[in-house]
Amino acid sequence: PGVQVEGDLNARPIAIPTLPGSLEILQEQLQAMLEKINKLPVERIAGNLDGNLIELRKGLMQFNSRTLPGVQSTLADVSKTLQSASATLAEDSPQREKLSETLDELGRMSRSLRDLSDYLGRNPEALIRGRPSNAPPIDLQGPPRN
């Protein structure tokens, strides 16, 4: 009342100028998003996904039927090998006793070589002239064997 409004009152429909509000902007954004979603090839994507799942299932079935029996066989072989190694290395096994004797012999040989090396280090001319006849004997035999 009492306010002058400019406009063409004869124009139909009457246009009232407004600024877009946050609700209108949100509605436009939602509408644009729905249009994009509607344009997605959902049927084709679902079909591809179904095909991929079928292929995956086939691959897993082949893996189960072909690979797992081989793995089980390999594990059985490994188990047998470990049992054999355990029996071989048992404290009362002949192989372990022989290994112990061999290691003892290697130790004696190592000491003998060390003694020889020390002697030649002190007497390098022994390589040319040999041991002097008055040199004390060296026990290269080590402890007696069983």
Q: How many CB atoms lie within 10 A of CB 22?
A: 7
Overall domain count for the chain = 2
- Residue 141 resides in a domain: no
| 115 within a domain of the structure (yes/no) | yes
Is the pLDDT at 17 greater than 70, yes or no? Answer: no
Residues 51 and 100 in one domain: no
Note the pLDDT of residue 1: 55
Does the residue 82 lie in any domain? yes
105 within some domain: yes
Mean pLDDT, rounded, for 9-16: 69
pLDDT of residue 77: 93
Mark whether 75 and 95 lie in a shared domain: no
In a domain, 48, yes or no: yes
Instruction: Report yes or no on 142 lying in a domain.
Output: no
Dihedral through CA 82, CA 88, CA 92, CA 97, nearest 10? -140
**Rounded to an integer, what distance in angstroms lies between the CA atom of residue 129 and that of residue 135?**
13
Residue 107, domain extent = 91-125
CA 51, CA 57: separation in Å to the nearest integer? 10
List pLDDT tens digits, range 39-94.
988 888 889 999 999 999 999 988 888 888 888 889 999 999 999 888 888 888 88
Question: Is residue 99 located within the same domain as residue 67?
Answer: no
pLDDT at 34: 93
- The residue with greater pLDDT, 4 or 67, is 67
At 144, the pLDDT band (50, 70, 90 cuts) reads: low
Residue 71 lies in a domain: yes
Q: Dump pLDDT digits (tens) for 95-142.
A: 888 888 999 999 999 999 998 888 888 888 888 888 777 877 665 454
pLDDT at 3: 67
Q: Is 96 exposed, middle or buried (0-12, 13-18, 19+ CB in 10 A)?
A: middle
Q: Please tell me the distance from the alpha carbon of residue 11 to that of residue 131, in angstroms, as a whole number.
A: 136
